[in-house]
Structure 1
Amino acid sequence: MNFLEAKTYLFEKLAPSKIMALASSVNDYVMVRNVSCLIYNDAIYFKTDKNFRKTKQLYKNPRVALCYSGIQVEGKAEILGLVIDEPGHQFEKLYQKYLWGSYNAYSHKEDEILVRVEPVFVEIWDTDEKNQAFQTFIDFEKESVEYCQYDDKK
C-alpha cells in the first residue's frame, strides 16, 4: 500500500463522522475527552466552546491525539475561528446531517469555534481475512507507510 492508498484507507474508515477521544496536554497535564468529529478535506474537524479548558490547552499546545477504535491519529490542531464564520458553512451542514442530536443540543453560535486537526502520524490496528492482526503506520510528513504483521496464526 502506498501513501495515497493508505491515506484513502484512513479517511474511508473514519468518514463521514465519528465520536473520537481527543487527548491534549499542557505542562504535562493531560486531558482526554470525547468530541464529535467530521472528516473531510483530508482532516478531522470538531467544534467546541471557546471558553472550555480543552480550548485553552489547544491554544497553548496544538499537538493532539485522536482515537477511535483501533485508529490513533497524532496531529496538529488549528483553531479556525467561529463555526458560523466558516466559508461555505461545510462543517455546519455536515454536522447537522450526521450529528443531528449534538447539533440540536449544543449549538451556541456565539461561542462555538471550529478546530481542524491535520494528521501527522497515524497508527491503525486491523485484522485481515484470516483474522490475523496487523498495524499500518502512516507518516504524513514523510508521506510513507509501514505495514507490520502482529501475529502469525495458521
Structure 2
Amino acid sequence: MSLFNDKYNAFLAEFGQGRKMVLSTSENNKVSSRMMSVIQVNGKFYFQTDVTMKKYHQLKFNKKVALCIDNIQIEGICEEIGRPLDNDFFSDIFQKCFKGSFDAYSSLENERLFAVKPLFIERWIYDGSIPYIESFNITNEQYSCKKYVSL
C-alpha cells in the first residue's frame, strides 16, 4: 500500500462516520455556508437537504462545494443521488449518528440525498506546539505534510 493510501485511510478512520460540518455552496458569485449533519462512507461525504432550500438551488447551479470542521477543510464535487430513505447505507448510518435529524427530516417528500466526492483535503496537525499542514490530493493520490513556516 502507498503512503497516500496509508495516510488517507488513517484520516478517514479518525474522521469517523458522522460529524456536524459547515457546508459552503455558491451561485452567481455569492457564497453561503451552513451547518449540516454529514456522514462519511468509504471516503465520500453524504448529507440531505430539502429541494426548497437555498443550498439545494446552489448545488444544482454549481457542484463545487467545501466542507469544514475544526482544522479540516474538504473541497469536492457534490451530486444529488436520490431520496434519503431509498439509500439504506445512508439511512442506517445517518439514523445512528443523527437520530433527531433522521426522524424529523429523512422521510419528508422534498428531502434529497447528496454525495460529496472529495478532491482535496487539508488539515492542520501539531507535533507538540509545532504546526504542520497535512494535504491529500485525492485525484492524484498525493500526500504531503509540511511544517508551517510563516514568511
The two structures share one fold, judged by TM-score above 0.5: yes
One-letter code aligned to 1:139: N
Counterparts of 1:102 and 1:109 in 2: how far apart (Å)?
11
- Where does 1:105-144 land on structure 2 (aligned, <5 Å)? 105-128=104-127, 130-144=128-142
Q: What are structure 2's unaligned runs of at least 5 residues?
A: none
Q: Does 1:146 align with 2:144?
A: yes
- Where does 1:1-154 land on structure 2 (aligned, <5 Å)? 2-86=3-87, 89-128=88-127, 130-150=128-148
Shift of 1:23: 0.5
Shift of 1:10: 2.4
Q: What are structure 1's unaligned runs of at least 5 residues?
A: none
Aligned residues: 148
- Aligned-residue Cα RMSD (Å) equals 1.4
- Identity across aligned pairs (percent)? 32
Counterparts of 1:72 and 1:10 in 2: how far apart (Å)?
13
TM (norm. structure 2) is 0.92
TM (norm. structure 1) is 0.90
Shift of 1:147: 1.0
Counterparts of 1:13 and 1:54 in 2: how far apart (Å)?
28
Conserved? CA contact 1:65–1:74, under 8 Å:
yes
Counterparts of 2:64 and 2:83 in 1: how far apart (Å)?
20
